[in-house]
Amino acid sequence: MNEVFIFWPIIIDGTLTTIKLTLASGVVALIISFTVGLARLSRHWVVRAIATIYLEFFRGTSAIVQMFFMYFVLPLLGVFLPALMAGIVACGFNLGAYGSEVVRASVQSVGREQREAAKALNYTNFQLYRHVLIPQAIPVMIPSFGNLVIELLKLTAVASLITISDLTFMSQIIRVQTALTLEPLILIMVIYFILSSILVSGTKWLERYFSAGRNIHKSGGN
Amino acid sequence: MEWDWNVVASVTPSLLNGLIVTVQATIVGAVLAYVLGLVIAILKMSGNKAVAFITYWSSEFIRRTPLLVQLYFLFYVLPDFGIFLSPFVAGVIGLGLHFSTYTSEVYRAGIENVPKGQWEAARSLNYSAYHTWRFVILPQAIPPMFPPLANYLITMFKETPLLSAITVVELFNAANIYSNSHYKYLEPMTLVGLFFLLVSIPAAMIALKIENKYKPLN
């Protein structure tokens, strides 16, 4: 085990990269979730169609294939993304597709009478979404988003395959250099477990925060 | 970069071979996930607190760590303890074990979603434990489980490319091997994406049908 601790600087480095990757692609995924999720509810069929194609494409193919495509194929088409950027984009776009379904389902789960009330008050479509539907949909979204952010953290491990030096990548370096297998892999698994557990408790906290004093029906999502 | 149909022609046979391995890994992995998930679900609901506690946290540990790392673990660590698994077997075990923690939640939720009144009604009619499960609980608990279980099958299909990291030559790895030796990336990778869509979109449609068929009545 001592041999592994010599490598603590790169373990910390890898942990930070994993966190950075998770946070950055989480932001990308969140933006995409709302954009695509709301676009799927649009009145214009063209917007709905584009959003659906995006969704089916990114949900229908494997994340690792998307990542390799962005890292190895896009340069051939003249788009050069550095490894970290390709990882962020691939993880964010992939999870964003799943997140958009959460947003769509949550917004749709808000009761019909809420829409009617907004209409009766002469709200514009923007006001309807901004002040009525989305604020009520957010508490419904939180548990599903919590699950997705853990999926995202686990997905970042795949980014090690396109040479991003995250936690998994570092464990492979240690494995190759020391011929130790059990110790580095157990160590990074524990780190991943701690990181996920922090995300789980964060989600639980958000859930309590958003549902305080509200009566939300558990519906939608997944 | 020009699209080259000759590359398509020469890479397609090995991709089809890879697709067969992908489908095999998905099916064996899914069967494992469904069976192990049931075992985990039962152990989690065990009356023995220690068993329930250990099962819960072991399955959470598996669920909260990446499948890729677990595959490395099975492939690189087990041989040190004298257990030698072929890449395919290691991959299938990893896939099945990882997703069994998901399917166990499906089983648990299915059983817990049967209203309490059903248990009480069975009891007041003096049903035995066997009859309660056989005629009251399971007939109501099982149908809602089908849609999520079908969706996890599709998810597992899309996770199989991870097996390439432990040298299984499935669809994605077949393309990768070709790419690296011919230095052609555009066609093989695009075809892999296409193959995935060709399988997963019809599969998603079937899953949606299942979902509509087994939708709870309320």
3-state DSSP assignment of residue B199:
helix
Residue B214 burial (C-beta neighbours within 10 Å; 0-12, 13-18, 19+):
middle
Give a yes or no: residue B13 inside a domain: no
Q: Do A73 and B73 touch (CB under 8 A)?
A: no
Helices B5-44 and B49-63: crossing angle in degrees, nearest 10, is 160
Give a yes or no: residue B187 inside a domain: no
The answer to whether B77 touches A181, Cβ cutoff 8 Å, is: yes
Indicate if the alpha-carbon torsion angle B140, B146, B152, B156 is positive or negative.
positive
Give a yes or no: residue A220 inside a domain: no
Residue B44 identity: K
Give a yes or no: residue A87 inside a domain: yes
Q: Which residues from chain B sit within 8 angstroms of residue A52, using beta carbons?
A: none
Q: Which two tokens stand for residue B65?
A: 């760590």
Q: Which residues from chain A sit within 8 angstroms of residue B56, using beta carbons?
A: none
Give a yes or no: residue B176 inside a domain: no
Number of domains in chain A: 1
Give a yes or no: residue B162 inside a domain: yes
Give a yes or no: residue A219 inside a domain: no
Residue A87 has phi, psi (to 5 degrees) of -65, -45
Q: What's the Cα-to-Cα distance from A56 to each of A31, A100, B201, B206, rounded to whole Å?
A: 18, 11, 7, 14
Residue B83 has phi, psi (to 5 degrees) of -105, 110
Reported as a single tens digit per residue, the pLDDT across B127-177 is 999 999 999 999 999 988 998 999 899 999 999 999 999 999 999 999 999
Residue B109 identity: A
Domain that holds residue A26: 2-211
C-alpha span between B1 and B72 (Å, rounded): 36
Reported as a pLDDT band with limits 50, 70 and 90, residue B16 is very high
Give a yes or no: residue B62 inside a domain: yes
Reported as a single tens digit per residue, the pLDDT across B98-128 is 999 999 999 999 999 999 999 999 999 999 9
Give a yes or no: residue A164 inside a domain: yes
The answer to whether B97 touches B62, Cβ cutoff 8 Å, is: yes
The answer to whether B98 touches B64, Cβ cutoff 8 Å, is: no
Q: What is the CATH number of the domain that holds B161?
A: 1.10.3720.10
Domain that holds residue B30: 20-170
Give a yes or no: residue B190 inside a domain: no
Interface of A with B in 137-196 (CB under 8 A): 150, 153-158, 160-161, 168, 171-172, 175, 181-182, 185, 188-189, 192-193, 196
Torsion from C-alpha of B162, B167, B168, B171, nearest 10 degrees: 70
Interface of B with A (CB under 8 A): 1, 61, 63-70, 72-73, 76-77, 80, 148, 158-162, 164-165, 172, 176, 179, 185-186, 189-190, 192-193, 196-197, 200-201, 204
Helix, strand and coil in chain A, % to nearest 5? 80, 0, 20
B210 CA to centre of own chain: 17
ipTM here: 0.88
End-to-end CA distance of chain A: 41
Number of domains in chain B: 1
Residue B187 identity: E
Q: Do A62 and B61 touch (CB under 8 A)?
A: no
Give a yes or no: residue B212 inside a domain: no
Q: Which pLDDT score is estimated for A116?
A: 92
Q: Which pLDDT score is estimated for A77?
A: 86
Give a yes or no: residue B9 inside a domain: no
Reported as a pLDDT band with limits 50, 70 and 90, residue B4 is confident
Give a yes or no: residue A40 inside a domain: yes
Q: Which two tokens stand for residue A122?
A: 């002469």
